[in-house]
A and B are shown apart, each in its own frame.
Chain A
Amino acid sequence: MKVKVISRSTEDFTRERSKDLQKVFRNYDPNLHTQEKAVEYTRALNAAKLEKIFAKPFIGAMDGHIDAVSCMAKNPNYLKAIFSGSMDGDIRLWDLATRKTVCQFPGHQGAVKGLTSSTNGELLVSCGTDCTVRLWKVPSLNFDSTVDTSKPSAIYTWKHAFRGVDHQWNSSIFATAGAQVDIWDHNRSEPINTFQWGNDSVISIRFNPGEPNLLATSSSDRGVVLYDLRTSSPFKKIIMQTKTNSICWNPMEPINFTAANEDCNCYTFDARKLDEAKVVHKDHVSAVMDVDYSPTGREFVTGSYDRTVRIFNYNGDHSREIYHTKRMQRVFCVRYSCDASYVISGSDDTNLRLWKSKASEQLGVLLPRERKKHEYHDALKARFKHLPEIRRIVKHRHLPKPVYKAAILRRTVTEAENRKEQRRQAHSAPGSSSRKPFRKRKIIKEES
């Protein structure tokens, strides 16, 4: 007969010296791992609760301005730098790590309405209500530089007040928004080109990151206009029901842009097909003042007049996250940091605030084990996120009372409108009145 019995020698299964690692053996047989789903569900529940425990998104406030912060700009050369301009003409360069001012750029007489960095990061362009465009040399953050920031390298005065400025992504051209759209070059003291469609002033302006000659602007006649520099003319315009405060192109999908509107929604459009919004992002309860995309192109942050900052997914119709503080008043500008980890908001209370983009993220260098654990927890939550207990925990956010009440009010109003519309349709002849889908409803006209 052939006999064989299991016999294990202890040396094969234990470590030799105390400095060795302990030996781990795995057997993936399902009979040894019973009730896996229940175990995973319990772990997912614990992971959701831990996420809420570690959710501390506010890092710090940057104090220094003496009037409301009206605009901000990122610098492509330095990750931890941000420029901010306030309503009294004060421009500051902040170091985000120490949350202190590095240097100031004094000079503007009125409010600074637009700030932007040039492509190589060495020049800062600012424009304001005192009808001037000023170019400043940016000092390097790492070591003491001999750049004198008390004087701009150039001041260009023009005929009307400016409302916004943006720099082209591959050359030394920048565009300003004011009574009309002006195209400037660094070395010329007059605009090299001017565009206008209609007689109303242009509020905000943004160059396309993928196609450098494409430009999107929003005007005070509730329209969004797209311009092409090669043909030196505007080529598309849509008029919406309410004014758009700010536009931002998606850096990863440059054909799409998101418009922050006065009617508390953000609309994402495909630039090729402007008759319908791709996604309508609803969650704010007051006008959305500014929008900025994350460099991953998957999320964007919005700041609104209702004192909150929200982060949306690029294709999500409701916000993923909301940030608010008692001390933060009307948010006028927001920026997503270039490493997609932080969000900076500038508000009416003269402070800039630094927030984490993922509220429960562990910052700093993670050990590979920690990283794997976080990935496992994220996968668990994603797997069971539809189950009621876990969904309740993950979805829960504390809202300030005015925002909560306002949201309820908005909801009752829209529900009442929907109900009335349904009844109107039910009591009228079939096919006589068709209601436009929501994504088209807010767009009144498209012109080209």
Chain B
Amino acid sequence: MGEKEESNEPQSLNPASNQEEGILDKLEKKAKKYLRGNKTNLKNLRDKKLKGQLEVREKIYGNTAKVAARAEEWLKPSEEGLLEPENPLERTYRIQQSSILPEVDVLSVSKAFDMKLPDLGPYTIRYLSNGRYMLLGGQKGHLAMIDVLKMDCIKEFQVKERVRDVVFLQNDQLFAVAQKKFTYVYNRHGTEIHCLKDNQHPLKLEYLEKHFLLVGTNNFSQLHYQDISTGQVVANYRTGLGPTSVMSSNPYNSIISLGHSGGKLTMWKPTSGKPLITMLCHHGPITAVAYHPSGNLVATAGMDKKVKIWDLRKFESIHSIPGHAQTLDFSQKGLLALANGSRIQVWRDKGDQDFGLYMTHSIPKGYQVGTVKFRPYEDVLGLGHSMGFSSILIPGSGEPNFDSWVANPYETSKQRSKKEVRALLDKLPPESIMLDPGSIGMVRERQRKEKLTKREIEQQMVEAVVEVKSNVEIKNKTKGRNKPSKRAKRKQEEVFNAKKPFLEKQRETKEGPPQKKRRVLLEVAEDLPKSLQRFAKKKPM
């Protein structure tokens, strides 16, 4: 009996310590997410004072990451959604909404609904960043703002014009609509506040929150940036690749990407007239673009019956889904929704960027899906289609824990107005948009001008001469004298002008930088020490 008891004790101790170890490992993994990069190696630093200061900083960063991981583990108020099959034969993509809804609580059932609006054209939808308000824009001019938390229609009105796109501005108080000729800004009460005549015949709109920039493309293939806090037009660029209504913004660095009819995806920032990056994605026109919230992945759909997911760090396609897609959207947890005709598919990253089909849904045949958008902070996918609006439940798509200082679905009007003021104070200048937002404050490496070798200079000269000889044509004068010798002389002059800069460079590499003139030393002064020779009297030779 005594032996049995003893043998029981060590076994009972182990599971507890194993649990602890498991939790610690989990916390360490989570802490990595908050570290924002690796620890710097301070071994080679010679400056002891700086080394000490940096070591203290690194320790503080490590501690904050651990605290954040612990807060995430123990302090989160809501849990993530999930959909797991019970036996290995069951597939999640066969599970229909009708089988999910009975298993879920009443509040969630009320989030999945259908709105029948058959007359006014396919609907574009947009959710506000906190997931509380939604805008519906029917192509035949029907506009509606709905509070989806309370299921309350705030304002519904008709503009009697073609509506191409709707977007919320800084909060639910203002929204912009891309109508037939101009962009209009409306109030929550439906009053027209502004008519923006700078962007004419707009096709698609996008709003950059941190910069207060309204971005739009139009029928003249222009990309238009406007600051809505001051009303100033920041930039208006001609893309040169044709009008396009495929536009998306990267949430990580606020870069706008346009999809063009040649299969090219271009990325723009407001301070440069040429695109930062041009990627050839598809063999046909691009029909939809969507960004992953981390900013590393972009999904593009083309007319070549492919939906590709690209990794932007390596600029490689990591996955390809066969099929058309008219709209794409990424959820906050990285689920990709694509819709084509009356069929919707949701793909999920199983881990290590391996995408697999997660759920499917089909709306009644004959309905055509217009836009697909995930609702932020909820497990809901909104579909705007030709017969109105539907929303379906996609467990695991939304971020369960919101940050009150970023987006609060339960905002009071006081909190909203204060948030607006703070956002204005923290408004980022348009120059801060760049491919790598973490490079602000970093040391920029000096770029040294490379000195060209002799051969390279010669090559460039030859090229320039050839160019001049072939392209420049000397006019044949018909009036006055026109001697062929004079024509030949003029052509030689042109060739010489083209050669001149290269000849100078060649001379420099031979001689070095031009030297100062030296005074001619006279024989008389040779008996003086060298440093005094410059003061010697100059006698004529």
Contact = CB atoms under 8 A, between A and B. Distances in A.
Given A4-B79, A39-B210, A34 B36 contact: no
Interface in A202-238: none
B82 interface: yes
Contacts of A4: 79-83, 395
Interface in B276-335: 293-295, 332
Interface string A1-26: 11111111110111000000011111
A408 to B, nearest CB: 30
**Candidate in A4, A32, A384 with the most chain B CB atoms within 10 angstroms:** A4
A27 B410 contact: no
Contact of A6 (B90, B377, B408, B437): B377
A26 B403 contact: yes
A3 B437 contact: no
Contacts of B294: 31
Contacts of A25: 77, 401-404, 408
Nearest to B403: A27
A13 B410 contact: yes
Contacts of B253: 34-35
B410 A5 contact: no
Interface string B498-529: 00000000000000000000000000000000
B108 interface: yes
A33 B405 CA distance: 10
B254 A35 contact: yes
A5 B104 contact: yes
A36 to B, nearest CB: 8
Nearest to B292: A31
Contacts of B541: none
A34 B437 contact: yes
A38 interface: yes
Contacts of B240: none
Contact of B395 (A5, A9, A38): A5
Contact of A28 (B72, B99, B100, B108): B72
Nearest to B406: A32
B351 to A, nearest CB: 17
Given A1-B83, A1-B86, A7-B107, A28 B71 contact: yes
B426 interface: yes
B441 A387 contact: yes
B378 A6 contact: yes
A4 B400 CA distance: 12
A436 interface: no
Given A22-B412, A25-B401, A3 B100 contact: yes
A46 interface: yes
Contacts of B402: 25, 27
A383 B53 CA distance: 12
B68 A28 contact: yes
B108 A35 contact: no
A1 B90 contact: yes
Interface string B132-149: 000000000000000000
B34 A31 contact: no
Interface string A374-397: 000000000110010000000000
Q: What is the size category of the interface that chain B forms with chain A?
A: 35 or more
A7 B108 contact: yes
A43 interface: yes
B33 A6 contact: no
A34 B251 contact: yes
A6 B441 contact: no
A298 to B, nearest CB: 15
Nearest to B94: A1
Interface residues of A, number: 38
Contacts of B77: 8, 12-13, 25
A42 interface: yes
A41 interface: yes
A5 B441 contact: no
B35 to A, nearest CB: 9
A27 B399 contact: yes
Nearest to B427: A42
Contacts of A2: 82-84, 86
B404 A5 contact: no
Contacts of A26: 71, 403-405
A24 B438 contact: no
B509 to A, nearest CB: 27
A29 interface: yes
Residue of B92, B210, B400, B403 with most partner-chain A CB within 10 A = B403
A383 B57 CA distance: 11
Contacts of B254: 34-35
A376 to B, nearest CB: 13
A219 B9 CA distance: 82
Given A1-B90, A25-B404, A37 B78 contact: no
A30 interface: yes
Contacts of B113: none
A34 B400 contact: no
A171 B409 CA distance: 69
Interface string B99-119: 110011101100000000000
Contact of B441 (A31, A33, A37): A37
A325 to B, nearest CB: 33
Interface string B56-98: 0000000000001001100011111111111000101001000
Contacts of B251: 31, 34
Contacts of B295: 34
B412 A38 contact: no
A8 B78 CA distance: 7
Contacts of B531: 427
B228 interface: no
Interface string B249-282: 0011110000000000000000000000000000
B530 to A, nearest CB: 10
B398 interface: yes
A37 B437 contact: yes
Nearest to B334: A31
B293 A35 contact: no
B432 interface: yes
Contacts of A32: 399, 403, 406
A35 B379 contact: no
B285 to A, nearest CB: 30
A160 to B, nearest CB: 47
A128 to B, nearest CB: 46
A384 B71 CA distance: 28
B13 interface: no
Nearest to A33: B406
A42 B294 CA distance: 22
A47 B450 CA distance: 41
A300 B85 CA distance: 72
Contacts of B105: 5, 7
Contacts of A14: 410
A31 B78 CA distance: 18
Interface string A238-282: 000000000000000000000000000000000000000000000
B45 interface: no
Contacts of A24: 404-405
Contacts of A384: 441
Contacts of A34: 210, 251-254, 295, 437
A32 B379 CA distance: 17
B125 interface: no
Contacts of A35: 210, 252-254, 428, 432, 437
Nearest to A383: B441
Nearest to A3: B103
Nearest 5 A/B pairs, CB to CB: A28-B68, A38-B432, A27-B403, A2-B84, A37-B440
Given A1-B99, A4-B80, A26-B405, 6 more contacts: A2-B84, A7-B108, A22-B412, A26-B403, A28-B71, A39-B210
Interface of A: 1-10, 12-14, 22-35, 37-39, 41-43, 46, 383-384, 387, 427
14 contacts: A1-B95, A2-B84, A3-B103, A4-B80, A4-B395, A6-B108, A6-B398, A8-B77, A22-B412, A23-B404, A27-B402, A34-B295, A37-B440, A387-B441
